[in-house]
Amino acid sequence: MPDTDARAQHWPALMARAQAGDKAAYNQLLKAMVPAIRAIVRKKIADDVLVEDVIQETLLAIHRVRHTYDPRRPVLPWVAAIASARAIDALRQRGRQHEVQDDDALHRQTAETNEAEAGQDALNDCLGALPVRQRQIVESVHLREQSLAQAAAEANLSLSAVKSLLHRAMLNLRKYGRGKHEKS
């Protein structure tokens, strides 16, 4: 990554300004880092969707531990360590997720409901059956197609909290769908 190395020469200064609260410098830095993060993550993960998710998680992790960066040191090893760890975590998690995972199940659930009830009203009914927090997360992730990381940032929650809300929403939707089928 010779190009990245050359560009990264300005990053320590930008990060120092970001640590001091300079929002513009931080914005510029994060945007500049995305291609480098993508290159690092792609070395470990082939799936494009997962790569983009890991990029977002890396950005969130960088945001969370930005106070641990020492501007006297090169920034790329710091970013690379975070991105690699996030990529490995994502791969491990994917390996573990043989059980029903929120996304697919929720899509399936929503699709089934739409077929049965034909349309937006049915979807609204379903979502209306969910508690407010669960509904907001489902809307963010599945209707507005935000990533889990984006939904977490928007709701000011941790990723695991978002996943847990989605999982509970899925269970509730499934229960709701079953109840509907039994009635009809």
Partner 1 sequence: MRNHDQLIEQLSASAQPVRRVWPTAWRVAGWIAAALPCGALGSWALHSRYTDWSQPGALLAIAALLLSFMLGVGAIASAFTLSLAGRKPPALRYLVLPVLAWLMLNLSNMTAAQAPAGAGRLGEGIHCYLFMLAAGLPMIVISVFSLYRTRSLFPAKSLALAGCGIAFMSSMLLSLCHETQLHRIDFLMHLAAGLTLVALTVVTGRRWVRLEGGARH
**By the criterion CB under 8 A, which residues form the site for partner 1?**
18-21, 23-24, 26-27, 30-31, 34, 38, 48, 52, 55-61, 63-70, 73, 77-82, 85-86, 147, 149-150, 152-154, 156-161
The CA dihedral of 47, 49, 51, 52, to the nearest 10 degrees, is 170
Least Å distance between CB 171 and partner 1?
22
Contacts within 8 Å (CB) and 24+ apart, 14-17? 15/66, 15/69, 15/71, 15/75, 16/71
Rank residues 63 and 94 by Cβ distance to partner 1 and give the closer one: 63
Least distance from C-beta 94 to partner 1, angstroms?
15
Nearest to 14 by CA among 38, 31, 1, 37: 31
Q: Which is nearer to partner 1, 20 or 118 (CB)?
A: 20
Phi, psi of 44 (to 5 degrees): -105, -30
Q: Which is nearer to partner 1, 15 or 173 (CB)?
A: 15
- State the minimum distance, in angstroms, from the CB of residue 177 to partner 1: 30
Q: Is there a contact between 14 and 25 (Cβ–Cβ < 8 Å)?
A: yes
| Smallest gap from residue 101 Cβ to partner 1 (A) | 17
Residue 59 identity:
L
User: How far, CA to CA in Å, does 18 sit from each of 3, 4, 23, 59, 66?
Assistant: 23, 20, 6, 14, 9
Nearer to partner 1, 4 or 114 (CB): 4
- Distance of closest approach, residue 47 Cβ to partner 1, in angstroms: 13
Comparison of 53 and 177: residue with beta carbon closer to partner 1: 53
Judged by beta carbon, residue 18 or residue 126, the one nearer partner 1 is 18
Q: How far is the CB of 71 from partner 1 (least distance, A)?
A: 8
